[in-house]
Structure formats: C-alpha cells, structure tokens
Structure 1
Amino acid sequence: MVALDADLVGRGYLLTTQLRATLARLAPIRLAELGDGLLARIDHLLGADREHLPLFRRFPDAVPDHAHVLYSRRIRALLLNQPRQTCAHCGRRSTEAGIGALAPCAHLLCAPCLDGLEAQGRGARCPLCGTGLSAGTYLGEDSSAGRKAAEVSGLDQALRPLRLVSASQLAAAMAEFHRLLARRTPLSPQDRDDLAALLAHAPADLPQRLPERIPLRETKAAVLAALLRRDGAGALPVLAERIDTATDVLRLLWSWSGAEPDLLPATARRLRLRNVPRPLRRGLLEILEALPQATLFEDLRRHRSAWLRAGELLHPYEHRSRFPRVTAAFVLLRETDLRTHEVGREFADPPAPLRVVEAGEHTRLGFTGFAGRVETRLAAGDAAGAVRVLAARPGELVRRLHHVLRVHAATAPGAPLPDGLAETVAAALARVAPGPLLGAYGRLRGARSAGERRLYFPRGTVSLAHAKEDHGTVVPAELSDPVCALIEAELLRRGAAGGERYELALLDEGLVDLVAPFAERAAAKTLVSVPRGSRQPLPPGDRLRLFVHWMQPEHLRVDLDLSVALYDARWNFHGLCDYTNLVHGERAAVHSGDFTTAPPPDGATEFVDLDLDRLERGGARYAVVIVFSYNDVPFEDLDEAFAGFLDLGATPAGGRHYHPRAVRQRLDLQGDAKVSVPMIVDLADRRYTWTDLNTGADGGFHSVYRHQAEVGALSRDVLAHFSPENRATLWDVACARAAACTDEVAVRGADGARRWRRGAAETVEEFAARLRALRDPDGAVAGPLTDLLAGRRAFVALVNGDVPAPEKAAGTLYRLYPGPVDAAGEELERWTAGDLVSALTPG
C-alpha cells in the first residue's frame, strides 16, 4: 500500500480514506493487479505509459530501495513547496497551512480531521493505514537533504484526490447518463466514451429508465443499438416507439455494425455493415413503411450512397406488396428503369409527391424535395418566400439566416426586414437546438466586410478547416442587429425556462476567452476539454516544452515530425524549428532530434523547447505548433499518437524529459489526416489559442518550409474567426443563465471580484445587457468568494476551480481546470461546457 501511495503521489494523485481502506482489504496479488491497473490508466491519461527518449540524450543542454523512504521524502518535499494540500481523509484542500504529514506513516491529514478523530478516541492511529502515531503526531521539519529534495522535485501543486465510488455517486453517474441523453449538441469524444461505458453497465430495465425523448439522433442510435444487441428482436417495440425518421434507421444500422452513427463518408469507407437477422429486417421495414411518405423519400435521397448499401441488407423488393412505400422509395433511390424492371408496372401511376420522368430511353420516378423548393426561391431573390418554406424546419431556417439576409440585402438594398420575417424568425428561434442558435448569433453579430476571409469546417470525423475570400453581399447592421436582439431575448427566455432560481451567480471574466463548443463530434480526445478556438494563458515561466509521441504498427514505417513555424506580427514567415533546423536563433527553440521510425513497444517521442523571451526578442510574434506525417500515412493507421505540451516549471530538475505531472494538455492524433495544428502561441500575450485543426495535404515529404504560406494564412484566419466578437462564447451562455435565474451576480476578474444587482425597476434584458458588457457594477465583493457562496444556492461558472470549496453550497458548477472547489459536496452539481450549452435546449 505504501508503494502504491508513493507511485500515486509521484503522478500527482492521492488515495482518500475509503478507497485506501477498500484496497487494503484485498489479497496482495489482487492489490498488485488493481494497483498496476490504476497506475496504468493514469499513465495512459497523461501519456506517460511510454518511454519518451529524445534522439539527443542531453536535450535541451548537452529509486530509492525502500518504498516508505520514497513516499515520505516526496511528501516532505511536497509540503515544503506547497503547504496547502488536500486532506486524504475528508478530501478538502486546506485554505491555510493547517495540514501535515502524520508521523511516521506520512499520510496527509488536516487539523480539523485530527481533532475530530481525537474527540472520538481514535486519534492514536492513522485513519488511512492504522499505523500508531508517534508523539507530536506530525512529521517535523526535514533535514537539509529533504530541503534539497524539495528544490529539485518540482512537487509544488496540490495533489488530486482519488475517491471511492459510493452509492450516492452511482446515483450521480445515472444522473450523468440522463444528462448525456438530454444533450442537444453533438457529444465530444470523452462524452461518447462515457455514454458507451454507462450503456455497458446499464440495468436490465433500461427501456423504462429512458427519458421520453432523446433529442440527439446519434445518441438515440447508440442507445437503441445497445438495446438491440442485448434483447435482439425483442427490442423492436421500443425501436418502433422511438424512431421517427428514416435516417434514424440508417444510424441504427451503423451503430449496430459497431461504427459511429454519424453517416460520414470517412466512416462509410471503413464500415462493413453487419448482417441483419430476418425478424429484425422485417421489423425495420415495417417501421420505415409507417413513416410519412414525403419525408421518407427525402431522407433516403439525402444519404443516397449509405442507403444503397443498407438496401442490400434489407431486401425491400422482396416485400413490395407488404411495404409499397418503402419499395417506391428504393425505386426512386436506385433510379430504377420502370420500362425494364419487374416493379415498373406497379409505379406506372405513382402516388404524390412522386412523378414519372422520361429521360431519353429510360423512365424513372422523380421527386422535388424541401431543399429544392428553398433553393429555387433563394435563386430568384425571394427571401420572404424562402423563409415561408424554411419555417417548417426551424433548424434549417436558423442555419440559413445569414444567407437569407444576404439575399434580401442584395435584392432590396437599404430595405428593412421583410414584413413578417421577424415574427417567423422569432417563432423558429423558440424551437431550434442550442447549436444553430449560438452559431447564428456568432455569425451575425460580428462586423463584416466585403472580401473578408471566411473559415469553413466541413462536417467530418476530423476537424478539417478551409478558408477563402467571401465577396458576397455584406449583411448590413440594420438587418443583423434586430435578429441578434431576437437571439439574445431567446437566450434569456431559455435561461429562465427551467424555472430554476439561484440566490447568487459567480462568473469568471475569463469565460469570454472560451468559445461555446461546436462540432464536438470531430474534436480530438484531450486531457483538458478546452473548446476549439479558445484562448488560454500559458503556464508561468519563460520556457515551454512541446511533444509528440507515436507508435507505428509492426508492418508499417511511420515518420511523424514535430515542427514549430514562427511568424512576425504581420504573419510574415520568420523562421522554423524542425528536423531540418534543430536550433533556431540563440537556442530560442531547440528540437530534440528527428526519429524516422517508431517501432513497438515504446514508439518514439520528439520534443521542442521554446524560450518565449528569446523568441519574442528575436522578432517572432506567433509560434504555430504543427505535427506532420512526413511519409503521408494518416494518423488513424497508427497504433497510438498524441501531442501536447509540458510545464517545465513542474518538471523535477535533472529528471526525465517527459514527466506525467508536468503534462498540461495533450490531444490524440486521429482520423484520416496527415497534418495537425494543435495550437497557436501568442508570444507577446503569453497565451495560446487551442485550434485542434487538421489541414489537407497530399504527396508526402511534408515540412514547415514547404507549407509555410498555407500554415500562416490558415493560422491568421483562425485567430480572426475565433475572436470573441465573431463567435458565441461561454461568457454569453453564462450571462444569459445568470441574468435570467438570479438577481445578484458576482464576477471575478484579474483585479478582484465585483457585484451586479438587478434594480427593482430594471428588466431582465437591461440587467443582462449591463452584465454582458460589465457596465456599471454595484460595488466590489468584500471577503473571500468561498464565504460568499457558503450555504447558498448558486450558479458558478469559472475557468479555474481554485476557489476553496464552500460549506453547504448547492446549485450548479462549471469549471474548466480542476481545483479546490471540486471538493464541494454533491449538492453542487458538476457541469461540462456541453451541459452549459445543452441547458439552453428549448422547453
């Protein structure tokens, strides 16, 4: 147990009382298995389960034999560097130096816990391991050798407690399950993994536990496929009740076959559809037959190639007398020649909305769908007519708002919004999902200019980005401002729709730098879920270490290259640090050396150290981090590949080049991509923009010098696209919820916390506008924030969770980075960024 304690502390984690007691009751062999597994999971999370040896061993410049000695020495060094640690018994972090290491076992215990144990007559032994405590209880000051160890250890942060899952936390896991099912925005990779794990352990009465509606189609397909795998054809009644579009059936078939139900071409290329048993085949055809005919035809045409493959499994022509609508849909889809095919005579007089089309020597069925009607009106400049058609599908209307307003501005320059458009848009906004709502808000509120560069993110399994000049008609402010006002009013309405009220809201000004999550389906798995496009401060200090690690399959050589492209303030190419130029300037950037192969079991790792001061003094403003697949092998063909950065200030002096405790961010390199741009560093502001982007590249032999112009142009476009005035941010989302749900808001900024109170005669809209602009505060917050929150129901949205855990606080908590606030009770419900956005789901 002490050896496990030491290994966990070395990784920045701490066993709490219940978990340690549970592990201590295990047989030694079982304990070793579980301990090794726990350490392996943590190492994998931090990327430390591989050897990370640079090619040049002296980069960047040219075990004790007893477990208890190791653990005690690390704890002493930890307390000397950072006395405010987490108590292993209560799990709370001390706000003062009221915590110590028990003698002789060195387990961390706070003074209140020790006093409580003594009052219960249990103060003579350690509550974790049962060791008898020495006189004086706490370990005394260490020797000079211990202080020397503290200097070189780098142990200067609070340990993160590992807790035993209790019955109440199992209930919290089920609550998380229902939150994921209620999400109306695409799930991130971490959320999809969580959902799969929860489905694998779902109780037998899962159908009865499901909510009345699962709004996200991909999530619904994953749940129904899990039911199908478990219950077979017995799940058909649940499927018939839940499926309401033909695309739901297609997603179900993909999930049934073990693929993501995203219906993307990249997924289709790798997918081999699983055979469908005959009872299930008939059941699915029956579900399709019961759908409205017009939407059935349109849904099949929207995903034509995927449905052609699905039709090979469903055999619809075999049951044409029983399922005539489905047969007609596949006749339309396959463009069957009615003159020569045996089903032709059955559709000589097709039902509306189908029609017979003569095309040369062939006769086929024809159909004009929803999209065709919209495009016809937009091409004719009839914006009002297009809106009337789009009103039937609110999501499509909101996604096309910018296009509709552009058409109106081009055909009627200077004219106000068409009559009835504002009312139609307001009605659509009340029904649309949060994603399109926030997307339209970000697109319309920013200042636009003719010929501006626009960034596009095509739907896919990876986040490819393309930019081009937009010479279309600029939407004037007199058209976009009224629509933005409608969206802001809708955000406030949704913030209050749940009826949940708080006594207080605590927000962080830094939320303005966090972009509201979008396209999470294509996001990479990361250690910290920073939304794409967000700006965050770099770790303190002047040096940053970048890394990439990969391991190739046995049959394939893969050469990844970690590179840094440097640009000045005008985005002129300034220099590079990569395998062709190992040292930039006066050691301002140093590359560890180029590995051209990464065989298992350890793979290979490349590093680049950046001296931020030297780079800035040398004239560089931006450092763009890039990972190339030199020999043109896509990342998805690798056994493992990830990149990220380390905080060198948290790395022990003279220690390993890659220390797990120093990892601040990592992302998995994935998908059919060969060039990844994880982040862009602003050397002047000491901040980085988390981009998580891939760019197209063909031909192999990739290098920074070859792609310098494309990388610079893309990076410039990315920073412009993700500026706060051009995107909806978590500040917008949090302000809407806070203003709608409470009359008192505290905002923490760099210069302290200020307070906003809603006046007696002030409307919610006026209060929200004042709060959003941080205008006219009602005074400063006196005293610690934890006292402000104690005993109150609060909505808390922070970037860093470094607020001490408040006593008896309840409500909702979002934080990006973990901290002491995580030790708050379960009454303070944890939310992710996706939960914040999903809370804006229409009632």
Structure 2
Amino acid sequence: MAHSLESLVIRHTRRLPSPDGSAGDGSTAARQFDAALTSVGFKLSAELLERLSGLSEATVVRTARQTLHLVTEMVGDHVRHNSYFIDFPANVPDTEEFWMECVTKALGDEKSRANVLTQLAHGALDLLSLPTYGRYQHTYEEMLAAQAELIASAGDRVTVLHLGRDLDDELTDLYQALAGSATPLGEEHLSDLGTLAARCVLGPQPDSIPVRENRAVVNEARLGVGADLLLDTVTDVLRLACALSGGDVTLQQPTRFRALPRPVRRALLAGLDAVIAADPAKLADVHAHREPFKRLGERLHPHEYPRWPHAADVFAVARGEKEARTFDSRVEKLLDEFDVLGAVRLLKSAPGKLFRALDLLLRIAAGQGERDAVVAAAVQVAPEVSGRVVLAVREHFQNREHETAEPRVFVNRRGCGWVTPDYRPPVPAADRDRLIAALDDEMRRRIPAPARLLLDPAVLDVALPLSGRATTGGLGVLPRGSVSAVDGEQLRFFVYWKETADRTDYDLAALLLHTDYSTDSWLSYTSLKAVGGEHSGDVTEAPDGASEFISLSLDRVRSAFIVPQVNIFAGENFEEVEESFFGFMVRDGDQKGRPFEPRTVRMKSELRGVGRVALPLVFRRGDDGRWHAKWLHLYLRGLPAANRVEENQVSVAELVRAMVEREYLTVRYLIGLLPGESTAVDLWDGGPVPDEPVTYIGLERPEGLHPDSRVITRENLSDLIPG
C-alpha cells in the first residue's frame, strides 16, 4: 500500500516523498539509481541525490526499485514494443509489394494454399487469412539485435524528480489539492482522489469542495468513517449513491444501484430529508435525473422511514406523483414569450445559469436597451460566478467574433467531438466587446498578483484547464487546445494495446492535410510509405500486447498538417482492453535507435475514450517552417468495426479545422491581466533561479527554487483558475 501511495505522489507532483530509512552511505547506489533513471529520460535532483546518498544502501535500492517500476510505466517502457518490420523505419516495402510477398509465402504453404487460391479465384483476398500477415515474424530480442543503439542527444527528454516531504504530508497536500480543485477532475485523478480520501478524510480538509463529483467521492469516504456528509442538493445524494454502487458520479452513464445496507440507506434518506427541509424549492432539481432517482428509490425503500417525509417527496416527484415546478421551466416560459428583461431578473438569482444564457439573451434582445440590461446583469452577478465559468464564457465570446457561419465544434464530457455549421445570428460586436472587457476586469480582480513571477515562455500557449476532462492521464500531456513547439527532425508516433479476451486490432494512422485541410496523403497499413514517412506494419491481434509506429522526417513532409489517429478495426474498445496508450517521440536527424526509445518520448497518454477513433493531437507547420502540436484529446464515434483513415478523412479534417481555428484562453491571457506596476516578471531561460521566493509557472519545475516559492507546472495547472 505504501508503494502505491508513493507512486501516486510521484505521478501527480514529480516529487519523491522523503524516504524513510536508516542512515548510511548510499552514495554509490544513489548514483546507480540516477544512471538507471537517465536511460528512461528521468534524473534525480541534486537535493534528492544528496538525501539518498545519506541513507543506507538497502533503503536506496528499495526506493530505486519502486521508483524505476513507476517511471518506466509512466513513459510506456514497461512493455515490449516490437515492430512488424524488424528494421523499421529502414527497408519498409511498398504496400502492394509487401502484400504480394505475403501472398507468395501463403501459396508456398501447404496449409494455406488451397484457401488462398479459392479467394483469388473469386477476385477478393482477406489479408488476415495469410499466415505471415498481421503477426510478428520475429521475436522482440531479434528485433533489438537488428537495431542500432540510440546515441544520446542534448535534445532527449529529461524529467527531474525532486525531493518531497514526508509521505503523510505529501498525501495530505495532494488530497486537499484534488478535493478542493476548482475544475472537474479527469477519470484517473477522480480515482486517485478516492484512494486519498479513504486515508485523509479525517485529517485537514480543503476550505471548500466546489466540484460536485469531487464531493461525491469525498462523501463516500466520510460515510465510511461515520463523518457528517457534505450535502446541499438532492443531486449530491444521487452522486453519492452512484459512488457507493461503483457507478459514474458525473451522472453521464447509467448506474446499476446495488442493494445498500440499512445504515447506508438511513444516511442517504436523512441527507435527502435535510436538503428539502432546508429549501423545498430544491425538489425541482429531481427532474433533471428522474429515472436514476426512481431506480434509487427502489433501493432505499423510503416508505419504511416515515420520519423523513421530505425524502419521500423526492421520489414522489421522480414518479410524477408530486409537482415541483423547475427554475428552468420558468426561465423557458419567459424566453418563449421573448420577455428578456423578465428572464434576466429571474436569472440573476442563479448567476451561473445567467452566464450560460448570455449568448442567447443578447441574440434575442429587442433593441439596445435590453442588451444593456443583459450586460449590466452579468457585471452585477459576476463576483458570484465561479472563476471556471467566467473564463469559459470569456472564451466562448472570444470565439463569437466571426460574422459568418463558421464550423461549430462540440465536445462532450467523455471527449467525443463533432462539428456542425454555426447558423446562430452574430452577437452585436459592441455588446460582445463590452462583456469581454467586463469579464477581464472580473478576472483581473480575482487573480492574486505575485511580487515576483518567474515564467517559462514554453508555458504561455498552454490552454487553461477549465475542465480536467480536457486532458488525459499520462506523461507530458497538456490540456485540450494547448500549443507546444516540436523541436527535432524526426517525429515518431506509437500505439500499444493488449487485448483482454477477444482478438483486437488497433490501427495507427496519420492523415496528412494541405493548408485548406484537404487530404494530401496518409500513412496506414494500406499505405506503408508516403513522402517523408514510414509505417511499421500492421499487427492484427494482441494477446501479449502489440505496438505500431509511424516515423516522419519533418524536413521532407510537404503537408501543412499531420493528424495521428488510432482506429479500432476489430475487437475491444479503448475501455475494454487490458491496456492501451498513444504517444510520440522526437529525435535528432542522425539518431537511430530502437523503434521505441523511452528518453525520446515527449508525450504518452492513456487511450480511454468512448469512440472508435482516437485523435490525440494535430501537428501544424507554421509560416516559418517550424512545427507545433495542438492538443485535441478527442474521439470520433466511428463505425462498429473496420474503421480506416480512408473512410473518416473528411470528418477528421472538419474536426481538426474547427479545433485548430478555435481560440483558447491560455496562460498568456492570465499573465496579461497582471498589473505591471506590482509584479516583476522574469522569463526563465533554463539557467540559475533567484535565491528569493518566487511564483514559478512553467512546464517543469527547475532545480534550486527557494522552498517558499509557489510552483505551478503542467501537473497542477488548474491552480491558476481562481475560485
């Protein structure tokens, strides 16, 4: 258990909790540990190396063993990455030439000859029926022997592990950070919060838990130890019931409620009763989730507990036996009557709903007077709206500057994206600009101005993580909409998957687009070579795990966009396989090495979406010839089977265009709001850091920062979002 908790801290903070062990001379073991880390792109900070050197050798070896296991998994080096073509990217054949070679070998095989001849006679051939197609023809060890050693480069990735505090202190801080997050957490972080809450729920708590899903996870732990529950809506109780049944606390997927012990049923009913007794109007919230409440009522048996009549009312509303007029229905009635001023007056009592309705209100307002009233109401209630919502609305209006029907992109909570034309009338420019200015003023008021800011320029174009679901778990991952430079001459994608039970075939592909988003070419199992690139070959099953690669020489690629994608051709989806992840590597032009080299990995992210086509990011060549990545974290619904880049190229290009041309609020935006007269901003160039405390914002934590410094890196970017 201690090992998993230490691993959790390292994953989230890049800090190794201060090892607990006897003193001694562990300097030799510590240096060996550091050298082993270097081979996978990590290293010990000077402070951590010094700390380990003063511990016994046994303690260092134990710490090294646990840490190395974790970091190899973080970078994707915990599995064997074989490639179909043994000396990839060298000697990749033309597609037709390769297929004919497979046919020739099949005709020379007594077991397969008759079947192949029959297929050829009918004019169609199933590649999977060829004994040498889609299955590794060499061992992993043989592939390694055929590949040259990687020559180290100054451009290789180096991720520094820093010295943390005691494990208990690190866990407490991490628990409070996740529980008190101002933005929703991704699935991995929400699961981690559950692990931490079970240990930390009786200790120090965050000042508030604003995100409802986080509250449900914490409430599950509080219920387990008999602590008071944090409930102020009926939906809080529903989310808690989902958590107790191992279901979806975001309420996006149906939960099959389990039979609950009598003490748990009493706690949930008492919680519902107290919420409604305090504010009967909250019965209206039941309508948003009527079916789940009906199913929950069947498990809670409220009729057995007459002392909680308000709880029984909740289920009566769900069954339609009791009326509870909703707030939204009152707003909709006013909007149907085009009573904008009446709707504004009502919505002022629900500031978050008012903010989400601003676009509609400004579009249907009759005249400048009504639009002035809408903007004035927004300004008045802005201090009561969460920072995440203020920023989301600010970003929305930033993208409403176009006067024509530009593509409109939608992304649901599970990362599934689609595009439709935007036929909404434009928001009048003057009103839009007034509103944007007011929202900027509100953010400027909320952001604490540090006395001294140390800023890594590489973080400026990172998108603000307005939702934890706009990213995925992994290494080097940035939020959706972020832009980062790609420095290197060779770009290599990789996908790994391991099936659970059924034969599963994932296909790595790259769609190459012109500047107008039309198709130039693609790389896939049907097109093994294109200008500047090679595909490692099709692997069609993964009982022991399988990998596919695409290698591109960026100076030879003539296209404007490179769109890597993972298509599910057959078998289990991304959430059913035992494991699946995508990533990319960057190498210098003369670097050889194996198909997978951990210290060249720039990003590795888990594939855990609901669609059948994954679009992790897009690479774009700028006017200056330099390449940049824009992070997507998207999934297309795709087909039930046989998804191919040839079939989805149009829909992928439309989605990529909408995402590339959408403007996201970035760290640069927040920095621009800081008052210049009270904040000294220094750009960090990778050199020595100041001796005094600073607020540091960057992709990675530098060594040597003053211990009282506030540090914000990609692991805790959500701390930038004001409450």
Q: TM-score range by the shorter chain?
A: 0.7 to 0.9
Matched, 1:648 2:587: yes
Contact 1:676 1:694 in 2 (8 A): yes
Give the match for residue 255 of structure 1.
Answer: 243
3-state DSSP of counterpart to 2:637:
coil
Contact 2:81 2:547 in 1 (8 A): yes
Aligned pairs for 1:40-439 within 5 A: 40-62=69-91, 152-154=151-153, 160-167=159-166, 171=169, 173-189=171-187, 191-192=189-190, 194-202=192-200, 206-207=201-202, 209-229=204-224, 231=225, 234-235=226-227, 238-239=228-229, 242-265=230-253, 268=254, 271-292=255-276, 294-319=280-305, 321-335=306-320, 364-408=321-365, 411-412=366-367, 415-418=368-371, 420-439=373-392
Name the CA distance, whole Å, in 1 between partners of 2:191 and 2:270. 32
Give the match for residue 690 of structure 1.
Answer: 631
Contact 1:632 1:699 in 2 (8 A): no
Q: Deviations over 1:27-65 (max 9, x none)?
A: xxxx76654332221110000011111100011113xxx
Q: Deviations over 1:799-843 (max 9, x none)?
A: xxx533424321322212x25x2431321122246856555535x
Give the match for residue 539 of structure 1.
Answer: 487
Give the match for residue 442 of structure 1.
Answer: 395
3-state DSSP of counterpart to 1:195:
helix
Instruction: Report deviation, 1:608.
Output: 0.4
Residue 668 (structure 1) aligned to one of 585, 602, 606: 606
3-state DSSP of counterpart to 1:430:
helix
Instruction: Report deviation, 1:652.
Output: 5.7
Give the match for residue 751 of structure 1.
Answer: none
Name the CA distance, whole Å, in 1 between partners of 2:694 and 2:149. 39
Ranges in structure 2 where 5+ consecutive residues have no aligned partner: 1-28, 92-147
Aligned length: 628
Residue 569 (structure 1) aligned to one of 493, 511, 515: 515
Name the CA distance, whole Å, in 2 between partners of 1:512 and 1:161. 21
Q: Deviations over 1:730-776 (max 9, x none)?
A: 2222332x328x6244364xxxxxxxxxxxxxxxxxxxxxxxxxxxx
Name the CA distance, whole Å, in 2 between partners of 1:288 and 1:806. 53
Name the CA distance, whole Å, in 1 between partners of 2:506 and 2:497. 8
Contact 2:410 2:417 in 1 (8 A): yes
Contact 2:488 2:587 in 1 (8 A): no
1:314 corresponds to which letter in structure 2? L
Name the CA distance, whole Å, in 2 between partners of 1:311 and 1:10. 56
Aligned pair in 2 of structure 1 residues 317, 836: CA closer, same or farther (>3 Å)? same
Instruction: Report deviation, 1:190.
Output: 5.5
Instruction: Report deviation, 1:610.
Output: 0.9
Aligned pair in 2 of structure 1 residues 281, 173: CA closer, same or farther (>3 Å)? closer
3-state DSSP of counterpart to 1:152:
coil
Q: Deviations over 1:473-529 (max 9, x none)?
A: 110112111111110110111124xxxx53333445555522211332363213123
2:491 corresponds to which letter in structure 1? L
Name the CA distance, whole Å, in 2 between partners of 1:301 and 1:422. 30
Contact 1:448 1:475 in 2 (8 A): no
Matched, 1:824 2:705: yes
Residue 51 (structure 2) aligned to one of 8, 12, 18: 18
Give the match for residue 351 of structure 1.
Answer: none
Give the match for residue 18 of structure 2.
Answer: none
Contact 2:563 2:615 in 1 (8 A): yes
Instruction: Report deviation, 1:406.
Output: 1.4
Aligned pair in 2 of structure 1 residues 373, 25: CA closer, same or farther (>3 Å)? same
Name the CA distance, whole Å, in 1 between partners of 2:296 and 2:76. 39
Instruction: Report deviation, 1:420.
Output: 4.0
Name the CA distance, whole Å, in 2 between partners of 1:728 and 1:159. 28
Aligned pairs for 1:771-790 within 5 A: none
Instruction: Report deviation, 1:289.
Output: 1.2
Contact 1:507 1:745 in 2 (8 A): no
Aligned pair in 2 of structure 1 residues 212, 689: CA closer, same or farther (>3 Å)? closer
Matched, 1:494 2:446: yes
Matched, 1:809 2:692: yes
Instruction: Report deviation, 1:544.
Output: 0.6
Aligned pairs for 1:508-527 within 5 A: 511-521=459-469, 523-527=471-475
Name the CA distance, whole Å, in 1 between partners of 2:56 and 2:237. 46
3-state DSSP of counterpart to 2:271:
helix
Q: Tell which has more relative contact order, 1 or 2 (C-alpha 8 A, sep 6+).
A: 2
Name the CA distance, whole Å, in 1 between partners of 2:521 and 2:498. 29
Contact 1:48 1:660 in 2 (8 A): yes
Give the match for residue 339 of structure 1.
Answer: none
Aligned pair in 2 of structure 1 residues 834, 17: CA closer, same or farther (>3 Å)? closer
Residue 418 (structure 2) aligned to one of 448, 451, 466: 466
1:333 corresponds to which letter in structure 2? A
Residue 731 (structure 1) aligned to one of 644, 663, 668: 668
3-state DSSP of counterpart to 2:294:
helix
Name the CA distance, whole Å, in 2 between partners of 1:494 and 1:393. 20
Aligned pair in 2 of structure 1 residues 419, 648: CA closer, same or farther (>3 Å)? closer
Contact 1:612 1:683 in 2 (8 A): no
Q: Which moved more, 1:169-178 or 1:437-446?
A: 169-178
Instruction: Report deviation, 1:577.
Output: 0.6
Name the CA distance, whole Å, in 1 between partners of 2:159 and 2:658. 38
Instruction: Report deviation, 1:223.
Output: 1.4
Name the CA distance, whole Å, in 1 between partners of 2:156 and 2:483. 23
Instruction: Report deviation, 1:399.
Output: 1.5
Instruction: Report deviation, 1:595.
Output: 0.2
Identity of aligned residues (%): 28
Contact 1:445 1:484 in 2 (8 A): yes
Aligned pair in 2 of structure 1 residues 23, 201: CA closer, same or farther (>3 Å)? farther
Name the CA distance, whole Å, in 2 between partners of 1:428 and 1:622. 43
3-state DSSP of counterpart to 1:536:
strand
1:530 corresponds to which letter in structure 2? L
Contact 2:492 2:549 in 1 (8 A): yes
Ranges in structure 1 where 5+ consecutive residues have no aligned partner: 63-148, 336-363, 749-784, 786-801
* TM-score, length-scaled by structure 2: 0.81
Contact 1:406 1:475 in 2 (8 A): yes
Give the match for residue 411 of structure 2.
Answer: 457
Residue 636 (structure 1) aligned to one of 575, 588, 613: 575
2:483 corresponds to which letter in structure 1? R
Name the CA distance, whole Å, in 1 between partners of 2:457 and 2:690. 24
Give the match for residue 541 of structure 2.
Answer: 597
Aligned pair in 2 of structure 1 residues 272, 418: CA closer, same or farther (>3 Å)? closer
Give the match for residue 101 of structure 2.
Answer: none
Name the CA distance, whole Å, in 2 between partners of 1:181 and 1:804. 35
Contact 1:632 1:698 in 2 (8 A): no
Aligned pairs for 1:474-493 within 5 A: 474-493=426-445
Contact 1:651 1:662 in 2 (8 A): no
Name the CA distance, whole Å, in 1 between partners of 2:324 and 2:274. 19
Q: RMSD of the alignment, in Å? A: 2.7
Instruction: Report deviation, 1:606.
Output: 0.3
Give the match for residue 90 of structure 1.
Answer: none
